[in-house]
Copies of this chain bind each other. A is one copy, B any other.
């Protein structure tokens, strides 16, 4: 593993590096808490061998193929399945070869760093991926994937994951979670309640989703009142299955309570298919208030992930579907948008909301001042495009001076790529260690305190914030 330097991500200045190394070593082997992500629980319910490297690593990961696509490589040639079933490249070794030839494009990106780490530390690969080494690496990974050691549950145990939270629709019956708990395997894999598919009236399959929600509840949802009842029941069910948090992926973090009458009217018009974009947005703003209200009652921690313009590239969306690298961030505003939510619930000791952003300009200006004042508000870590060495450093630099360390919630990998989880947490622990080492070396934080903080960032804060 000669290409993975043990001091990677640490500043070269010897004082900083020495402190960073010590801090990192002190948390390197702590268990992983992953309280928000998108790994499919079926992996662990079924515990079947992972397919080949292309299927495991490239095809599901839009971080990888979007950059290849941006350099003119057709999605079809990367094996990305089409919606209409029109043919794509099926030779996965050939796709991997293309990947290897273009792997230099990932220099300096977090994806490149995660992959290097994953190749080395999960699969024991000792060469860098290039056009020359591509097929040899493909074969090595393939071979390992067929061994018992690389079955999903064995990897999970080896990764030392203490809790893994999945993300689940409100009409999901959580059968995979149940199956896992019914098995002799004792891992803690918990669901997260994410109701976007039914709270976003403009969702393309909204009426179908409402129908699904009714089915799982055992009654038809014909009114706003029954909709709210259904959501409360499903939250309760999720909670009974180990869920500790909800998640809300909204375009805007606007929060605003409608009157019951207005909410009812909007909902009924949506059922009739007569809803506009603006009305859908205000209903979403209202549902954030409702979800907060429910959280004060059932204790589920609320997460808000706003700010992506989904499916910006309509051609890619129409041919390949959602989550294909075409989601683009937009500018965010929180001070005014969260005003109503925080005024209603922000001082309530029963409530906790964890707010994320892809817009770094709000860290110091809006999010840190809000979290540095309201007891209920916590700061989610750098997310999506910002989940990187520079992105995580900027987060600490722009948040800490106003909100400190202890209103942040630790690292969240937010990934579909199960095998990349240890690499992602490792990068986070290294970056935080380096940030703290810079502070220690400038005598802004003392060495002993930094030792406590790095542990909080790597483990304690997640455990506390998500009630794990």
A binding-site residues for B, Cβ under 8 Å = 3-5, 7-13, 15-16, 66-67, 69-72, 104-110, 113, 128, 309, 312-316, 325-331, 333, 335-336, 339, 342-343, 346-347, 349, 358-361, 364-366, 368-375, 377, 385-386, 388-391, 397-398, 400-407, 439, 441-446, 449, 452-453
Contact at B385–A444, with CB atoms within 8 Å? no
The CA-CA distance from A404 to B388 in the complex, in Å, is 13
Contact at B3–A107, with CB atoms within 8 Å? no
Q: List 25 A-B contacts (CB under 8 A).
A: A7-B443, A10-B442, A11-B13, A12-B13, A67-B404, A71-B406, A72-B375, A104-B406, A104-B449, A105-B404, A107-B445, A108-B400, A108-B401, A108-B444, A108-B445, A109-B400, A109-B404, A309-B335, A329-B366, A330-B333, A330-B336, A360-B364, A388-B402, A389-B442, A389-B444
Partner of A385, one of B3, B325, B364: B364
The CA-CA distance from A401 to B325 in the complex, in Å, is 15
Contact at A369–B385, with CB atoms within 8 Å? yes
The CA-CA distance from A330 to B404 in the complex, in Å, is 20
**Contact partners of A444 in chain B: CB under 8 A:** 8-9, 108, 113, 389
Contact at A365–B373, with CB atoms within 8 Å? no
The CA-CA distance from A365 to B363 in the complex, in Å, is 13
Residue in chain B with minimal CB distance to A396: B108
Partner of A365, one of B113, B342, B359: B359
Contact at B358–A365, with CB atoms within 8 Å? yes
User: Copy number in this complex?
Assistant: 3
The CA-CA distance from A333 to B329 in the complex, in Å, is 11
**Contact partners of A11 in chain B: CB under 8 A:** 13, 442
Partner of A309, one of B67, B336, B397, B405: B336
The CA-CA distance from A369 to B401 in the complex, in Å, is 27
**Contact partners of A407 in chain B: CB under 8 A:** 70-71
The CA-CA distance from A331 to B442 in the complex, in Å, is 31
Residue in chain B with minimal CB distance to A332: B365
The CA-CA distance from A110 to B128 in the complex, in Å, is 39
Name which of A11, A326, A328 has the most chain B CB atoms within 10 A of its CB: A328
**Contact partners of A401 in chain B: CB under 8 A:** 108-110, 385, 388-391
Contact at A343–B366, with CB atoms within 8 Å? no
Knowing that A107-B449, A108-B444, A313-B347 are A-B contacts, what are 9 other residue pairs whose CB atoms are under 8 Å apart, sorted by A's residue number? A67-B404, A69-B373, A70-B372, A107-B453, A108-B401, A108-B445, A326-B373, A329-B365, A388-B401
Contact at A12–B16, with CB atoms within 8 Å? yes
**Contact partners of A390 in chain B: CB under 8 A:** 397-398, 400-401
**Contact partners of A398 in chain B: CB under 8 A:** 390
Contact at B347–A104, with CB atoms within 8 Å? no
